[in-house]
């Protein structure tokens, strides 16, 4: 796969892309599509703002964090197992911290970069699917969504770290690779 393909693998083609409403509007979208691209039929992100551009990457990272936070909040109320609930709490904390670091990294960049956390259609679909489940059924679906999301996030981070266009964001991406790898391994253990 090329670095660009790795960058655009989306969230629950996750962790990262967009196509619905903005934060605060009815419904929760997750990656980056309204202004930044659209989800292709193959589940890959066809990004109008290149995933190797600062804005494209910032949107992807912000949407990924949003998906993790929103899906993990659901796990706190709809999950059954203590392991799922514990993992979800860790994801909420970690992804809120990641969002803060992303915002701090983008302050002062030229050209201006403002992360947009709009979810991709695929992320929104995954989130909506989780909302319809409870108990053990939720736990299974949440674990699968977390693996998918963290794989996509890891691909996007590695891709941008290798070929992104803004040094500060490349450092941000590279610095998150070990954390996201650990999250992926933890998510795989939820099965």
Q: Which two tokens stand for residue 116?
A: 């947009």
Q: Which domains does the chain have, with CATH numbers?
A: 3-188 (1.20.1260.10)
Instruction: Look at residues 133, 134, 58, 125 and name the one whose alpha carbon lies nearest to residue 98.
Output: 58
Q: Output the pLDDT for position 8.
A: 32
Q: Output the pLDDT for position 113.
A: 96
Distance CA 97, CA 176 (A): 11
Q: Strand 37-39 vs strand 45-47: parallel, antiparallel, or unpaired?
A: antiparallel
Per-residue pLDDT of the chain (191 residues; tens, 9 = 90+): 333 333 333 333 333 333 333 333 333 333 333 333 333 333 333 344 666 799 999 999 999 999 999 999 999 999 999 999 999 999 999 999 999 999 999 999 999 999 999 999 999 999 999 999 999 999 999 999 999 999 999 999 999 999 999 999 999 999 999 999 999 999 999 96
Q: How many other C-beta atoms can be found within 10 angstroms of the C-beta atom of residue 162? A: 14
SS3 44: strand
Q: Which two tokens stand for residue 162?
A: 């290798």
Distance CA 83, CA 65 (A): 20
Distance CA 64, CA 120 (A): 9
Answer for the pair 153, 16: CB distance below 8 angstroms, yes or no: yes
Instruction: Look at residues 26, 5, 8, 30 and name the one whose alpha carbon lies nearest to residue 122.
Output: 30
């Amino acid at each position: 796969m090329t670095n660009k393909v790795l960058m655009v693998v989306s969230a629950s083609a996750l962790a990262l892309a967009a196509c619905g409403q903005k934060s605060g509007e009815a419904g929760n979208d997750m990656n980056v599509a309204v202004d930044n691209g659209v989800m292709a039929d193959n589940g890959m992100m066809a990004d109008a703002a290149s995933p190797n551009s600062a804005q494209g990457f910032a949107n992807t990272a912000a949407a990924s964090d949003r998906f993790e936070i929103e899906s993990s909040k659901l796990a706190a109320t709809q999950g059954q197992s203590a392991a799922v609930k514990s993992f979800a709490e860790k994801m909420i904390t970690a992804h809120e911290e990641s969002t803060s670091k992303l915002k701090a990294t983008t302050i002062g960049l030229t050209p201006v970069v403002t992360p947009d956390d709009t979810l991709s259609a695929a992320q929104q679909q995954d989130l909506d699917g989780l909302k319809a489940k409870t108990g053990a059924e939720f736990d299974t679906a949440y674990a699968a969504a977390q693996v998918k999301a963290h794989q996509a996030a890891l691909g996007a981070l590695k891709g941008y770290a290798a070929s992104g266009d803004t040094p500060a964001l490349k450092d941000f991406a590279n610095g998150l690779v070990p954390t996201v790898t650990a999250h992926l391994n933890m998510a795989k253990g939820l099965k």
